[in-house]
Amino acid sequence: MADEGPVEGKLLQNRVRVWENQEELHSELYYGKMIDDYLELSLVETLHLVDRDELLVHEDDDELSREELFDRFTGVDDEFPQKYAVYSDLRERGYILKSGFKFGTHFRVYPRGVNPYKEGPKTQKEHTKWVVHAVPENHTFTYQEMSRAVRLAQNIRATMLWGIVDTENEVTYYRIDRITP
């Protein structure tokens, strides 16, 4: 995409929509969700693409800066800073992330090179590898919260990871497994 310059998107409420030149973002880099004739990007996807100089975001006729976007997104979602730190860290490592909302977590993570949009039967390698929930380092967990998350992850044959974000925005991942004697 660097050859063609950044794609342009429009901020509409809490999503960004891309109407032109969205094919590479969606079909090759696995960002967003195609809806009719546009690509809809989540807040974390949007900021990640802005940070990579692959997306410019406009509202009305004004281009929004990275700082304006971060402030807006944090105003919409108070978990945004830690979600973005985890999302960006895993994306930069080459993993593909999709929403984990229906599993009660922030992200589903696919191994490098897997097409998350593949239809039909999938091999074990093509399924979600991890479900990841991003939290600040001072977050307090209940046993029930951890147990529920691990059980949900196991139900989809994935591993539960907690992405703990410290005050420097560094991420440490903790894996919690259920062991049955």
Q: Is the pLDDT of residue 3 over 70?
A: no
Q: Quick: pLDDT tens for 41-61.
A: 999 999 999 999 999 999 988
Q: Which fold has domain 80-175?
A: Trna Endonuclease; Chain: A, domain 1 (3.40.1350)
pTM for the whole structure: 0.89
Q: Is the pLDDT of residue 15 over 80?
A: yes
Q: Is the pLDDT of residue 140 over 70?
A: yes
Q: Is 59 exposed, middle or buried (0-12, 13-18, 19+ CB in 10 A)?
A: middle
By C-alpha distance, which of 106, 114, 93, 112 is closest to 152? 106
**Mean predicted confidence (pLDDT) in 137-143:** 88
Q: What CATH number does domain 7-76 carry, 3.20.20.80, 3.30.70.2740, 3.40.1170.20, 3.40.50.920?
A: 3.40.1170.20
Q: Quick: pLDDT tens for 151-165.
A: 888 888 888 999 999
